Amino acid sequence: MSEELPELPDRLSVNPKSPHFNAQILEHEVGIRFNGAEKTNVEEYCISEGWIKVAAGKSLDRKGNPLTITLKGTVEPYIKERK
């Protein structure tokens, strides 16, 4: 039985406080290819604008959220297959 995979949005965030957070999609394991390389520390992405936000080490902002760096390039999100 094949599970119906959701369509990935143009922009997605793992932060529940973000307006781009989507718990239903994040129930699946979402992978990101950025400029052809697999990235595992992506906090947020936007396909149309061509950027990802990744955590900057273990630094936190004053609200306790990870500090992020925005990287520009080709963003290719996909849903990883479950084994």
pTM: 0.85
What is the pLDDT at residue 45?
97
Residue with tokens 């990935």: 8
What is the pLDDT at residue 1?
41
Higher pLDDT, 62 or 82: 62
* Cβ-based burial of 34 (10 A; exposed 0-12, middle 13-18, buried ≥19): buried
What is the pLDDT at residue 57?
86
pLDDT digits (tens, 9 = 90+) for 19-73: 999 999 999 999 999 999 999 999 999 999 999 999 888 888 898 888 999 999 9
CA geometry: angle 82, 80, 25, nearest 5 deg: 100
Cα atoms in the Cβ-side hemisphere of radius 13 Å centred on 73? 15
| Domain limits, the chain | 11-79
